[in-house]
Copies of this chain bind each other. A is one copy, B any other.
């Protein structure tokens, strides 16, 4: 599935190429968002609205993009966001993604809805930084079992998704009457529904009663740091940390859950301020270039998760495509740091953001 003659100059090119390759319904499943997709668009636009005010005349002969996430060193603050059903994008699915992320030196988050057994993913990248994304299911025993398997397999953290008591309503999937092909199976759990309308496997839906008490429970069951993904409110961020979370991910689930929610770029500063030094704050949503990564870090994020572009990397180049996406974003970040006069991520401070300008299209 490699495309030797293809040289995308940015991630939009890559998405175009992936769209050509994919079945339209699968493309829409990955690309689409909830409702009228206003938040989907705003996630990208909000980063672009932020205007940079670079510093000059600083020694930028060595640019160091490395940092740590939950204490572990990473080559850059980038990470692969959890996404289900990656074998829709590449025959090796999560195995390929994990290999690509590890080759790039970044964290890979394996989803509850992974189409490869979590133990196999971990085994494929023995020196990788794999985290496991968790949906708490109504069946708490099954949930605990998955968590213990992840801990036993060497995952370094649990990413608890807190914004999905039900799956959001995605018009594209409804129009396409999208169904997972039979061979695409959520291997770590019995198959789970993809859309609200999907009634095939009713026994496996999300538990709509997950509260902050479950954070402590998961810490206890897993012995792993717990990262809460899907926080847009400062109060919730504080609540998560108070309940034992080691980090929060500011996220609106890539615009896939509830339309017209705040963009993650707009939500980030308030949460950074609320959390302070009590936990790490990450962000995902709308990241398509290195300038946006730099802005997230300047606003206080410790890590930046990338979603759909990873899928386009998988589709166009498998593990190597994923690595290319992460490498090129890291390179774009390094260029942006150079041009902002910041030789390390610690030098990325809020004064680099000049404010919010009008959207330009």
Most buried by B among A49, A53, A230, A263: A53
| Chain A interface category by residue count | 35 or more
Name A252-282 residues within 8 Å CB distance of B: 257-263, 266-267
Q: How far is the CA of A256 from the CA of B290 in the complex (A)?
A: 15
Q: Is A357 an interface residue when CB atoms closer than 8 A count as contact?
A: yes
A174 touching B55, Cβ below 8 Å: no
| Contact residue among B57, B162, B207, B209 (Cβ-Cβ distance under 8 Å from A56) | B162
Contact with B along A44-58 (1 / 0, CB 8 A): 010111111111111
Q: Is A235 an interface residue when CB atoms closer than 8 A count as contact?
A: yes
Q: Is A168 an interface residue when CB atoms closer than 8 A count as contact?
A: yes
Given known pairs A41-B360, A42-B357, A260-B50, the reply for A236 and B335 (CB within 8 Å) is no
Given known pairs A42-B360, A339-B168, A354-B266, the reply for A211 and B261 (CB within 8 Å) is no
Q: Is A239 an interface residue when CB atoms closer than 8 A count as contact?
A: yes
Given known pairs A9-B171, A208-B61, the reply for A163 and B260 (CB within 8 Å) is no
Q: Is A191 an interface residue when CB atoms closer than 8 A count as contact?
A: no
Given known pairs A169-B332, A171-B10, the reply for A239 and B57 (CB within 8 Å) is yes
B233 touching A55, Cβ below 8 Å: yes
A258 touching B166, Cβ below 8 Å: no
Contacts of A67 in B (CB 8 A): none
Q: Is A65 an interface residue when CB atoms closer than 8 A count as contact?
A: no
Min CB distance, A29 to chain B, in Å?
15
Contacts of A36 in B (CB 8 A): 10, 48, 289
**A232: nearest residue on chain B (CB-CB)?**
B53
Contact with B along A155-168 (1 / 0, CB 8 A): 00000001101101
| Contact residue among B240, B258, B267, B359 (Cβ-Cβ distance under 8 Å from A339) | B258
Q: How far is the CA of A42 from the CA of B289 in the complex (A)?
A: 18
B209 touching A262, Cβ below 8 Å: no
A335 touching B166, Cβ below 8 Å: yes
Q: Is A325 an interface residue when CB atoms closer than 8 A count as contact?
A: no
Min CB distance, A334 to chain B, in Å?
9
Contact with B along A220-249 (1 / 0, CB 8 A): 000000001011110110011000000000
**A163: nearest residue on chain B (CB-CB)?**
B56
B210 touching A57, Cβ below 8 Å: yes
Q: Is A25 an interface residue when CB atoms closer than 8 A count as contact?
A: no
Q: How far is the CA of A139 from the CA of B239 in the complex (A)?
A: 56
Given known pairs A59-B211, A231-B56, A289-B35, the reply for A51 and B335 (CB within 8 Å) is no
9 pairs, CB–CB < 8 Å, chain A vs chain B: A10-B36, A42-B360, A49-B358, A51-B260, A57-B162, A57-B239, A59-B209, A60-B208, A261-B354
Interface residues of chain A, those whose CB is within 8 Å of chain B, are 9-10, 35-36, 38, 41-42, 45, 47-61, 162-163, 165-166, 168-169, 171, 174-175, 196, 207-212, 214, 228, 230-233, 235-236, 239-240, 257-263, 266-267, 289, 291, 332, 335-336, 338-340, 354, 357-360
